[in-house]
Structure 1
């Protein structure tokens, strides 16, 4: 396991049991983020870096009983917390790495990823791997239940122009990874970047 993966697992593993209690007001924001993703009944969607699974019930509601919802996370404690919150009923939970997804090419209609980009060891490679498993024309939603400026203030730091989620950084990063950014919102109450998979010719 890489040093980056070890750090991520240690960080989230130690916080998994109390994660939902730390952010009790995020539920409606997750619901709105999923709604904006444009999922349809019967769609196949992956929650990449699903954590405690806060998006999973909303994803299930969007795709209906005929759809497929997968929740993937690197940290076992987060998946345990998701199961403990009864969210495994909304999805199939998988332990895995977004750099090596156990899914076939073009097997999904969409990927929802909350708070994921900042924790990717190799963002270009990992976003390309997400593109691999999404059909052409499928969607990617990069979500956070707090905007960039509000998150920086919460963490006691300045907002950095090198932040991967800044539009001037994210747009070319997505383009180089098989995605075209179609919508970008960065408000205090949420962050949501939507993209479409456009494979290179």
Structure 2
């Protein structure tokens, strides 16, 4: 997907293209991160047999774990704005039949209305250019009663510090203030079930009413 140079997603895609071989994008999970993955999956609930959407899949590190979680009857659609990240994900996940990978923002994915049981926004929500628009799109792709999980392995305060140091492409990519987040979530038809923002990271689960 060719994007205009002044498109904010083009700028971010170039930023993440340059990160595609960095350790955080390709390394295996250590003990601390494994604990955070366990926390994430405790909150998602069982995924076996479900259709899962993963915006911001990167090189497919979480996607590979999701394959095991959904099992042979489940299905995963993973998307990312970075061509290099997507290229690596397609190589890393080439042996799995129950995964399809798309290049582009989640807001531009088409053909999945009322399709997914779960959407897992892991390490990506701050990077949505229009967070409310992204939530609206996600709500349209979820089945009635479906759920969204928004996850970061660091807190919102740490996200702000990290992105401010990372450079102009992501300097303003933040988690919204709590009241803003709650309002957006509710206006898009969700009801919050779980919400934590602490030293173990940011984790929110909401169900589509």
TM-score class normalised by the smaller sequence = 0.7 to 0.9
SS in 2 for 1:136: strand
**Equivalent in 153, 156, 160 of residue 145 of structure 1:** 153
SS in 1 for 2:85: helix
Q: Per-residue displacement from partner, 1:78-117 (whole Å, max 9, x unpaired)?
A: 1122234347626221112211222332111010011222
What's the counterpart of residue 188 of structure 1? 199
**Structure 2 counterparts to residues 104-119 of structure 1, below 5 A:** 104-119=112-127
| CA deviation after TM superposition for structure 1 residue 57, in Å | 2.2
Distance 1:156 1:8, change over 3 A: closer
Larger deviation: 106-115 or 79-88? 79-88
Distance (Å, rounded) in 2 between the aligned partners of 1:72 and 1:128: 17
SS in 1 for 2:73: coil
Gaps of 5+ in 2: 166-172
What's the counterpart of residue 69 of structure 2? 62
Q: Per-residue displacement from partner, 1:149-173 (whole Å, max 9, x unpaired)?
A: 333454577xxxx953432221111
Gaps of 5+ in 1: none
Distance 1:79 1:30, change over 3 A: farther
Pair 1:168 & 2:193 matched:
no
Corresponding residue pairs, total: 194
**Equivalent in 41, 46, 54 of residue 47 of structure 1:** 54
Distance 1:165 1:33, change over 3 A: farther
**Structure 2 counterparts to residues 82-93 of structure 1, below 5 A:** 82-86=89-93, 89=96, 91-93=99-101
User: Segments of 4+ in structure 1 off by > 4 A?
Assistant: 21-24, 153-157
Distance (Å, rounded) in 2 between the aligned partners of 1:88 and 1:131: 30
Question: TM-score, normalization: structure 1?
Answer: 0.84
Contact 1:34 1:55 in 2 (8 A): no
Question: TM-score, normalization: structure 2?
Answer: 0.81
Distance 1:67 1:46, change over 3 A: same
SS in 1 for 2:180: helix
Q: Per-residue displacement from partner, 1:102-143 (whole Å, max 9, x unpaired)?
A: 233211101001122211111111110011010011010000
CA RMSD of aligned residues (A): 2.4
